Amino acid sequence: MPACHAGDRRFESGRVRHPFPDSPHAPSARPDGAFSFLRRTIRAVSVREPGYDPRKRHPRSGAHPTSARPARPAWLLPALGAAALLLVIAVGFGSGILGRSSEPRSPGASAGAALAVPASTPRGSAAGATDTPAAPDPSATPGVDIPSVGETAPPDPVVVGSETDVAIVPVTSFRSARSGVNVADIEGLATGASPFKALVLVEEDADAILASLGLARDGLGKRLVAVASAEELARNLAANRGRVAFLRADQVGPSVRALAWGGKSLFGTNRVKSLAAWPLTARLPGPATPAYDPAGAWTMVAGGDILLDRGVSLAIQGSKQGADFPFDGGTVEITGRCKDCSPMGWDLPYTTKTGNAGIVRDLVSGADIAIANFENPAPDAFRWHSKGTVFSANPRYIKGLVDAGLDWVSLANNHIGDAGRRGMLQTMENLDGYGLAHGGLGKNATAAHTATLLKAGDVTVGLLGYDQIARSYNADADTPGSARMTTQALKADIKAARKAGADVVVVFPHWGVEYRAAPSAAQRALGRAAIDAGADLVIGNHPHWAEGMEVYKGKPIWYALGNFVFDQTWSEYTMEGLTLELTFRGKELAQARMRPHLILGKAQPNLMDPAGSGKFVMDQVWRGSKGLLDW
């Protein structure tokens, strides 16, 4: 979909190699922007080859230990001369001796090549090191490695990966309304002109990232905050929401908000196609194959309640786009509010469309898997309803959902039985006819509780729909109906989904109390039970308001997304909702973005800026999340 960020010029700066990010001798910035690193080196470390025996002559170097002799033999002086000559030759070829490995360096090896370093070497332990390695203690036992002064000899060396251009990503608090950051925002940190109060970096990567950004520690002063790990960085951002940070792409998780850079995103449906297209890297030790690659990532978009009867049906019939009308929405701004203008006494927003027609369709169709709740049956003998809360949809309108890119809908809700048991079966047949997968409803309880399996690249996703509202519509052993959500059912159904091959399990319940932002105690209990039973995330609906969210045992629970395509335009609360945009790295959730939307024309969601017009519904979500969300 079209990028919603202002164009940024690509930021360019000289990159400096940092072979040993844990070393206190990483290049330091000079006032002129250059970096001095030739004056400082890492102490050499001796690593013996397997099978080395100090009592025998080394097969390549010819070295062997000597012991005291009672008299000087006649051949000693010539031998010493030969040894001196060998020493000169060894130094000329860069071969290490006296406390250095006897393993020769391969031709053309650079400072960035993989080297063995002590695992237990403390940061800053080599203070005062010079370009010349320290000589070994003559009194030491022959054949035992000699650590540098102040170092502790480790039991085994640890191999550090070679340096490479590692993708780094600007991130901020999960609750931030920002979607992107530009060069001026980062450059302004040094002068206090940035919208951010401080820059947070993981200490071991800090120097390399600062070099890539063209920043110096001294210039940032107290505005630079160094932490020990990516996990600590996420906690720091959650506690200090006015800060920005940079992380390796592999370290980005859902507890932080990944930002676009230079108008490009590394996550989401509109992400760059490859790491080569990402404009921001730092020279860091890293694996040959990155854990996160946008080419191998996959996305899921989730929407709330969809109605195709009543006012939505009228909007479809009155539009030239027909069944495609609901998903042709663009972007919108709220310009004001009309006090008590609703027939039901609610305030209503004044709005202006701001273009980008089709952006909602692009979002949905751009996802590998797109899901929503189908809030009505679509029987053969449908009937249009002008009012009331009994629904049925024209089956031909299903085509609009398929055209928009929806892949699966849950039929487990309190309206699926509005056309009777026969209408349930016909709804499933009509959805099958358009190739739209569905779940949460079946010809019997076994079918209703069976997960739908969809593929996203090499990942198999299991989707389970449940209804906790209309128990009279639940299926039994011989009767069509919906799946009822119980702790026992969750355990059995998720276990069966895993056995069937699901790598990721999404529970999609219809639950809660209408027209409220805070989840009920019953919702919370069942949501946690789903995670305990093995679900990876829970996405709920039914209240017609966007509700709060919770993170339980590291897994997110969205209690309700609100209306997606609905005609409840009698209040701002029911006109607004969330569209979830989730990015996965294999089986793991990497990013979660809540996209606020406003329904116009009784049927059409239009996206809003979360920092502007979308703030109303986002604040509602945060209020509903009080005490539940530490992101």
- Tell me: the pLDDT tens digits for 141-169? 333 333 333 333 444 333 346 899 999 99
Residues ≥6 apart with Cβ < 8 Å to 486: none
Residue 43, pLDDT > 50, answer: no
Tell me, what's the pLDDT at 502? 98
* Mean pLDDT computed over every residue of the chain: 81
Regarding the domain delimited by 298-624, which CATH topology (the fold level of the hierarchy) does it fall under? Answer: Purple Acid Phosphatase; chain A, domain 2 (3.60.21)
Residue 421 tokens read as: 């048991």
Bridge-based pairing of strands 537-539 and 260-261 is: unpaired
Confidence of residue 286 (pLDDT cuts 50, 70, 90): confident
Whole-number percent of the chain with pLDDT over 90: 73
Angstrom distance (rounded) from CA 601 to CA 316 = 10
Domain ranges of the chain: 162-285, 298-624
Q: Place domain 162-285 in its CATH homologous superfamily.
A: Periplasmic binding protein-like II (3.40.190.10)
The span from the first CA to the last CA of the chain, in angstroms, equals 27
Confidence band of 435 (pLDDT split at 50, 70, 90): very high
- Tokens coding 177: 């309304």
Asked if the model's pLDDT at residue 181 lies above 90, the reply is: yes
Task: Tell me what pLDDT residue 515 has.
Answer: 97
Q: Is the pLDDT of residue 400 over 80?
A: yes
pLDDT of residue 606: 98
What Rg value do the Cα atoms of the chain yield, rounded?
Answer: 32
pLDDT at position 419 over 70: yes
Res 81: pLDDT: 52
* Mean pLDDT of all residues in 235-257: 97
405, amino acid identity: G
Task: Dig out the tokens for 338 from the structure.
Answer: 């009309």
Q: Give the closest residue to 198 by CA, choosing from 173, 230, 180.
A: 173
Using CA atoms, how far apart are residues 349 and 334, in angstroms rounded to an integer?
Answer: 6
Q: Residue 93 carries which DSSP code?
A: T
Please check the confidence at residue 585 and state whether its pLDDT lies above 70. Answer: yes
The residue that leads in pLDDT, 40 or 485, is 485
How far is Cα 180 from Cα 6, in angstroms, rounded to an integer? 9
